[in-house]
């Protein structure tokens, strides 16, 4: 059984399951990125980067190259479980990217159930970490974000970087909805960031998808 728990310092979640569980989830997710069916859809490259970076960690987990424990939190059997960490913000963007791409492919009830389970456990992990603070964040799991915009990946990277610069804890957790406004169309934060990206694109004579976040000052050696 796939399940999620919040990390010790509250920066995100740990995704856990048996090797078969994780491999099975990888098989489901792999259908919804790097797929020619989505290539002509607006924001394809952005969503692809978001999903592929998540699936990379998932693959490393079932290959036994990330976290390991002798048994799961919700298992009565002594079966080795494997896992990996993911930030709250990245996970929310992954759900949106998957949901968007699933509209344009043959989606089985089993695939949908897999994604719904991730949403359930993500919400549960949020509530268990901060029952009060999660109230304003949970709605972002399934709505609000502009998942078809061409700079969706850059929004995720930028919001994630801002979050990692904050001091870990519930006060920072409660600021995530504010950070996510960068990806909510119609907000001043969204409009300002989009204009900045357009300016950078014109300066470097490239597409927005080719821009890189200037985050050399951020320490990504995360103590989760």
Cβ–Cβ under 8 Å, residues 104 and 37: yes
User: pLDDT for 192-209, tens place per residue?
Assistant: 999 999 998 888 888 877
Non-local (6+) Cβ contacts of 13 within 8 A are 4, 5, 6, 7, 85, 86, 88, 91, 121, 122, 125
Q: Is 85 inside any structural domain?
A: yes
pLDDT at 175 over 70: yes
Q: Is 142 inside any structural domain?
A: yes
The residue segments making up the domain with residue 94 are 3-210
- What is the tally of structural domains in the chain? 1
- Segments of the chain assigned E as strands: 3-6, 12-17, 67-69, 81-87
Q: Is 215 inside any structural domain?
A: no
Q: Ranked by mean pLDDT, which of 38-52, 133-147, 203-217 comes out on top?
A: 133-147
Q: Is 218 inside any structural domain?
A: no
Q: Is 224 inside any structural domain?
A: no
Q: Is 219 inside any structural domain?
A: no
**Distance in angstroms between the alpha carbons of the first and the last residue of the chain:** 23
pTM, rounded to two decimals = 0.93
Long-range contact set of residues 220-224: C-beta below 8 Å, sequence gap at least 24: 220/164, 222/11, 222/85, 222/164, 223/9, 223/168, 224/7, 224/8, 224/9, 224/11, 224/12, 224/14, 224/85
Q: Determine how β-strand 12-17 pairs with β-strand 81-87.
A: antiparallel
Q: Is 220 inside any structural domain?
A: no
User: pLDDT for 31-90, tens place per residue?
Assistant: 998 777 666 677 788 899 999 999 999 999 999 999 999 877 777 678 999 999 999 999
């Amino acid at each position: 059984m796939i399940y999620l728990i919040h990390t010790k310092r509250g920066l995100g979640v740990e995704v856990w399951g048996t090797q078969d569980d994780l491999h099975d989830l990888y098989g489901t997710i792999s259908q919804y990125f790097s797929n020619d069916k989505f290539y002509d859809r607006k924001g394809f490259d952005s969503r692809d980067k978001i999903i592929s970076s998540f699936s990379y960690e998932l693959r490393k987990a079932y290959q036994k190259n990330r976290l390991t424990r002798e048994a799961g939190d919700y298992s009565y059997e002594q079966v080795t479980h494997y896992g990996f960490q993911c930030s709250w913000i990245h996970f929310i963007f992954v759900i949106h990217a998957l949901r968007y791409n699933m509209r344009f492919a043959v989606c089985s009830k089993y695939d949908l159930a897999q994604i719904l389970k991730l949403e359930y456990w993500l919400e549960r992990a949020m509530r268990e970490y901060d029952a009060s603070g999660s109230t304003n964040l949970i709605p972002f799991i399934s709505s609000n974000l502009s998942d078809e915009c061409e700079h969706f990946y850059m929004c995720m990277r930028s919001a994630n970087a801002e979050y990692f610069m904050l001091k870990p804890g519930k006060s920072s957790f409660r600021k995530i909805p504010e950070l996510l406004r960068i990806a909510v169309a119609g907000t001043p934060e969204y409009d300002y960031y989009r204009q900045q990206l357009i300016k950078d694109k014109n300066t470097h004579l490239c597409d927005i998808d080719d821009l890189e976040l200037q985050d050399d000052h951020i320490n990504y050696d995360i103590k989760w």
